[in-house]
Amino acid sequence: MRGDDIEADLKRFYQTDLRDLWRPGGGDSQLTLRLLWVYIRRLPHTSALAISDNGGRMPWSIEDHLLADLWALQANRGKKRGARWHDYPNRPKPTAKKSNSKLDDERIRRGQQRLVERARRLEEGT
């Protein structure tokens, strides 16, 4: 399905046909892999690809987040210090970055070994 979204977005935003990638010299459009990558990276949040990647809902723009911040400021005006903060109800929850825990654990283990080795050398005076 992503191919369909990409093709639709190329037509809508750049008036380019994805088929031009496989038929060089086919008219005015000279689509290359690099140009395709540039186009895809610069698609707006209203693109079919962005909506598809966001579970079928349009991702929030910077303006949407700023308006939600203003709403939250108004909703929380006059609250006492330490009171529960009310955020805009439909604000998307931030997604946690995926990490490779095995790799992270290995880095921590190596860092601890280096620390122990440095402490040992300092004690020896080396």
At 104 the pLDDT is 77
* Tokens read off for 124: 């020896």
**Separation CA 52–CA 120 (nearest Å):** 55
At 8 the pLDDT is 93
Where do the domains of the chain lie?
1-60+69-95, 96-126
At 29 the pLDDT is 61
Helices (H), 15-100: 33-41, 48-53, 62-75
Q: 59 to each of 34, 49, 55, how far by Cα in Å?
A: 25, 11, 9
pTM of the model: 0.58
Mean pLDDT along residues 72-92: 86
At 27 the pLDDT is 62
pLDDT bucket at 55, cuts 50 / 70 / 90: confident
Helices (H), the chain: 2-14, 33-41, 48-53, 62-75, 101-124
The Cβ-side half-sphere exposure at 101, using a 13 Å CA radius, reads 0
Q: Using one digit for the tens of pLDDT, what is the confidence trace for 19-42?
A: 888 776 656 667 888 999 999 999
At 107 the pLDDT is 85
At 98 the pLDDT is 65
Q: Using one digit for the tens of pLDDT, what is the confidence trace for 103-118?
A: 778 888 888 999 999 9
Burial (CB count within 10 angstroms: exposed 0-12, middle 13-18, buried 19+), residue 107: exposed
Q: For residue 68, what is the DSSP state?
A: H
Q: For residue 34, what is the DSSP state?
A: H
